Amino acid sequence: MAGPIIRILGQVAVMAAGIFGKAFVTAYQQAIHQAKSGGPQAAEAAAKAAGISKNTMNRGQARMILNLEKEECTPQSIQKQYDRYFKSNAVENGGSFYIQSKVYRAKEILDAHMLEKERDAK
């Protein structure tokens, strides 16, 4: 009785070792390829050149957070929506600090864009 169970467990162990071995070899090959192509620094530099950053939101996301359409995006409407959502998500009122910080970042990004538009208009 113990013979077939041990054989099955042995086959499972051999199969698992093969799967992990293949995964290790693939990961090693990817690491070598990244090292040859400049590694993570090159990928980060390419993302910055393309205007992509994984830690910042874009203007579309900022408008979505503040519930603004592109046409109605004025400094007054940004401030109005910011005040509304920042107060309603205050921790003292049972809101979320995370959402409040997203609202703050959205306003920050849209304000920076408005300043950029004003400088370009001059």
Secondary structure of residue 96 in the 3-state scheme: coil
> Using CA atoms, how far apart are residues 32 and 30, in angstroms rounded to an integer?
5
> Using CA atoms, how far apart are residues 72 and 114, in angstroms rounded to an integer?
12
Residue 76: per-residue pLDDT = 92
Residues 77 and 91: beta-carbon distance below 8 Å:
no
Record the pTM. Answer: 0.55
Q: What is the mean pLDDT of each run of 10 residues along the chain (122 residues)?
A: 82 89 86 73 64 72 91 90 92 90 92 88 77
Using the structure block, give the residue that is written with the tokens 């041990």: 6
Residue 34: per-residue pLDDT = 75
Number of C-beta neighbours around residue 67 at 10 A: 12
Q: How much of the chain is in helix, strand and coil states, percent to nearest 5?
A: 80, 0, 20
